[in-house]
Structure 1
Amino acid sequence: MFKPITINNFLLLKDSVALVDVRTPAEYAHGHVPGSFNLPLFSNEERIKVGTTYKQVGREEAILLGFDLAGPKWSGFIKDALIIAPKKKIGVHCWRGGMRSGAMAWALDLYGFEVYVIQGGYKKYRGWVHQQFDRPYNIQMLGGMTGSGKTRILQQLQVMGEQVIDLEYLAQHQGSSYGSMNKMVQPTQEQFENNLAEQLKNTHPQKKVWVEDESLTIGKRSIPNPFWQQMRDAAMIDIKVDLQQRVNALADEYGSLDKDFLIESTERIRKRLGPEQTKYAIEAIMEGRMRDFVKIVLVYYDKTYRTGLSKRDVSKVLSLELDDTDIATQANNILNFTINAAAN
């Protein structure tokens, strides 16, 4: 017999029990539990047919149609489930924990699987996701002007055992007009939230959680407001890096990107950059003068950063100059700085 289980209890088993999402591929693509597998009972088109029959004819007719559509697929479902969960221990969910997950659970149980059915389905999971953003976290913000190497420092801190939430990685965007780097594809807003909640659930409540200073939106994705407010209220280290060092780093990073992409991205900030500076920036791109291009756009981004910094509680912002270019040394200096600041 399959076992009903709450989402909270299932997440405790998640590392040892595979989870299958039996919703349609379109539903799954819009948002899913990180690490889950899509084993759709119906295709996108079939789901529409069943839903239309339910509304226009009735529940029983919709169930019969569902069995007609899924009937030839059952052996395939079981074979796929055996690949996903060779030890025959599996979790199942649909949208609300209704007929789709019930039918799949029945078939897998009949075959001999130990089946856990998520009570309330994906809808209940989404409620759990939002709860994660309301939890209090011991956030330590890391700020600094564009090109200061904040992301690389965060990655080094993570290697050193610190808790890090890399929002730009989760959003698949580096935050500026050029943030997609002409290759990254952003997840849906829903999936961004799911991925963030997954990382937050693994944090220790008493330890610092390092987060890079970000605006409310990263590309087209928005940081959930409760978590964003905690970021705004948290203490921040504002790292200071030599301007030429920042220019060199950004020129190296953006120099290999497609010129048309850089020009298009520059055009998007024309109003804020100004027509004359936009013209000079585009000329620099076309002529391969990447350092000149970076210097021009940094005027805008540095001004934006200073404006955001001015809105923070000054008593919670501490500045730290980083002279060494070695990333491990920079990370160690930041950790020592936080220890000394706490002691004082």
Structure 2
Amino acid sequence: MSAALLALAVVVAAMPAASAPASAPPSVPAVVLLPLGPDGTTSVKQARGVAAQLRDALDAGPVAEGLCTLLSSSKDDDQQAERCRRDATCLGEVAALRGADVIVAGVIAPGADGLLVSVVAVAASGKEALRRLEVTLRGDAADQRRIDRLVRSAVGPHALRGTLALTGDEGATVTLDGVPRGTLPLPGPLAPLVEGEHDLLVEKPGFEPYRRPVTIAHAETAQVKATLLPLTSGDRARVPGSDIGGDGDGRRGGAAPDGPPLDVVVVGGVGAGLVALGVIAGTWSLLDALAVEERAEQQQLMFPRDSGLLARGQILAWTADGLYLAGLGALGVAGALAYFTPAEQQP
């Protein structure tokens, strides 16, 4: 009896472990790369050489990074490549037979300034190409970068990756595409990031949020410095309890608002004074003009000859215009100062 109970206890204890699901590794696409075909005046040797470069780039890039697996070559690869060329339906059938998720095939041909490589990526049992890609190899040091981008694009857009080096105010929190990424200063660049546009948000209490779209390019590091601007008193978020004992707007003791800044008062006063002087000069000029008209009526002249009075009236009129303009300008400056001066900087 005791032996049976012991055996039952062992079975019951083992049941949770047996029923616990095993964590499956993330699925990555299996890729088949068929030999490239020669086109035009290119040779089979050239096509095989380029195909070898594509395979090496796949191994060193997406395969090494765990973004895909590369299936081994088959003895029928040359025949299948020749039969299908770049026909999507044919290639989709070959991919299904090989147990691949994506099959890549293509041709090389002479280009205007190099060797033109044209490939097509087709899903298993697919009838249309997922992606059609072209690149020109020029025989220079940049060819490796061109091949790397070509094979990654064939695998999928997710294989094109870059990094983001972010600097800014210490203690600010970083969110990228809605996902928290830490606090500045970050231990290193944010990587890997899929090529394209990302939404960057940097926040810190007491500062305006820094929100910008950031464009990431493959194999490059985007440099961004997030400059945070202090919040003005009108924009500052209310902190619960900060207006205790005050008048509801953050000031304590119900004190009345302070007056305008000194520079606004000075400039505004100068402007008002200039306008007043303009009024005086204009009035004086008007009186001179009326005096001229009165003398003209008395002497029955169409054009009076009192040149001194006329000259003074003209000068006064010009002076009035100048004072008006200067005064209005000063008042405008005072208004701008009052509008743009942050509230916390006002006395």
Question: Fold conserved (TM > 0.5)?
Answer: no
Greater Cα radius of gyration, structure 1 or 2: 2
Structure-1-length-normalised TM-score: 0.23
Structure-2-length-normalised TM-score: 0.23
**Higher helix share goes to which structure?**
1
**Higher strand share goes to which structure?**
2
